[in-house]
Amino acid sequence: MQLVSNNIREAMGGASFIRKMFEVGIELKKQYGADNVYDFSLGNPDAPPPAGAAAGLCKVAETANEPFALGYMPNAGYPETRGAIAGSLTREQGVDVPLSHVVVTTGAAGAINVLFRAVLESGDEVVCPAPYFMEYRFYAGNFGGVLKPVQSRDFTFELDVEAIEQALTPRTKAILINSPNNPTGQIYTRAELEALADVMRRHMRKTGKVLYLISDEPYRALNFDGVEIPSLFDIYEYTVIVGSYSKTLSLAGARIGYLAVCPAMPDPMELINGVIMTNRILGFVNAPAIAQKLLTCMIDEQVDLRLYRERRDAMAKVLDHAGIRYNMPKGALYFFPQSPIPDDAEFVNTLLKERILAVPGRGFGTPGYFRLAFCVPMSSIEKSAEGFARVVRSL
């Protein structure tokens, strides 16, 4: 008897390279011990949360036994939390973001889902530069939308704005970008984003319909070289920024993030009220109360960036030593190097002989590369060096 829908049955049967690596990893760790397996397959941030996490939870505990302390609140979140996020975004984006334009969400993943539920008609398209975070495809598909990946420029992963323009159709409802990028570590420049905005404005004039720019920014704080991360609120008025504190505060499991609507968007209340409603009817109801209160206490903190920068630099040395080509990631937690052989899946399988776990680029829509997550202990990075080198020599 079939217990799930055709669509979910098919999705469950599909190859998830990350899941496959996860299972292989468990097996290898059993056999060789966890210290002797170099697992670069998972992006679970391992920096300890800042000091405010414990202090903030104790503060939440102080009033936790009062009536309504953790009860229902407005679906958009506690006004204090919305205000704290709005203030933080105002500083970060360099644009005045009012509280009314911020909805507290169950992480960035929750934010994208409530936004898609609010705006997509069945058959609408979402254009997305590839390589891309593979969950995006499901988020659009949850509501009848279709993800349309467009390859970025080889190796550098800069936006190919002409190719994006060619992918736009009357059914395109949004372009979804992610900068700093998972899996490439790329940060888009102001020039790239302004060119994109020009294309989008032209398209809107042609169709007479809204074309959203959705900017997924969970890695914004992980910017290792201090390059500019331009504010899209400054560049394109139909922008919606989504973000989370999963990486900034190492709270990935706590599910706390936000959705912010561009202050320059004309008559935005239909959209804002729409996402507040879909946040409710998708069953989020409101972002988790305890995490909201905790965030209000620690909004100005962040994990120690040096920890990740040092690992990025160490990983670069390991790849240099092995002779593997890569574009240095400016942010996020990943390298996306070129596979030394054309078949990235075969290369990743070969790495397993050295107990190195990676994810092939085709898992992100871009074959010929592979992803390494460097949120792992420094010793793992250093100890993997000879393994990488041996594999490359053996090819």
**Is residue 51 near a second copy by the rule CB under 8 A?**
yes
Nearest approach, Cβ of residue 128 and a second copy (Å):
16
Nearest approach, Cβ of residue 155 and a second copy (Å):
30
Spatial separation of the C-alpha atoms in residues 201 and 195, rounded to whole Å: 10
Question: Which residues does 76 contact at the CB level (< 8 Å), separation at least 6?
Answer: 82, 102, 103, 104, 276, 279, 286
| Maximum separation of any 2 CA atoms in the chain, in Å | 66
Residues in 252-311 that interact with a second copy by CB under 8 A: 252-255, 266-268, 270-271, 273-274, 277-278, 280-291, 294
Answer for which of 97, 103, 104, 111 binds a second copy (CB under 8 A) is 111
Spatial separation of the C-alpha atoms in residues 148 and 168, rounded to whole Å: 9
- Helix 17-32 vs helix 344-351: crossing angle, to nearest 10: 20
**Is residue 227 near a second copy by the rule CB under 8 A?**
no
Residues in 231-250 that interact with a second copy by CB under 8 A: 250
**Is residue 107 near a second copy by the rule CB under 8 A?**
yes
Question: Which residues does 129 contact at the CB level (< 8 Å), separation at least 6?
Answer: 149, 150, 151, 152, 157, 159, 160, 164, 177
Spatial separation of the C-alpha atoms in residues 304 and 301, rounded to whole Å: 9
Helical spans, DSSP H, in 35-134: 52-62, 79-93, 107-119
**Is residue 35 near a second copy by the rule CB under 8 A?**
no
Stretch that binds a second copy, among 108-116, 227-235, 325-333, 335-343 (CB under 8 A): 108-116
**Is residue 393 near a second copy by the rule CB under 8 A?**
no
7 or 349: whose CB is closer to a second copy? 7
Stretch that binds a second copy, among 50-58, 93-101, 180-188, 318-326 (CB under 8 A): 50-58
131 or 288: whose CB is closer to a second copy? 288
For residues 135 to 174, the per-residue mask of contacts with a second copy, x marking binding by CB under 8 A and - elsewhere, is x--xx--xxx------------------------------
Spatial separation of the C-alpha atoms in residues 91 and 101, rounded to whole Å: 15
Spatial separation of the C-alpha atoms in residues 172 and 170, rounded to whole Å: 6
Answer for which of 34, 54, 191, 378 binds a second copy (CB under 8 A) is 54
Nearest approach, Cβ of residue 132 and a second copy (Å):
15
**Is residue 112 near a second copy by the rule CB under 8 A?**
yes
**Is residue 359 near a second copy by the rule CB under 8 A?**
no
Nearest C-alpha neighbor of 346 from the set 335, 362, 331, 333: 362
Is residue 4 exposed (0-12), middle (13-18) or buried (19+ Cβ within 10 Å)? exposed
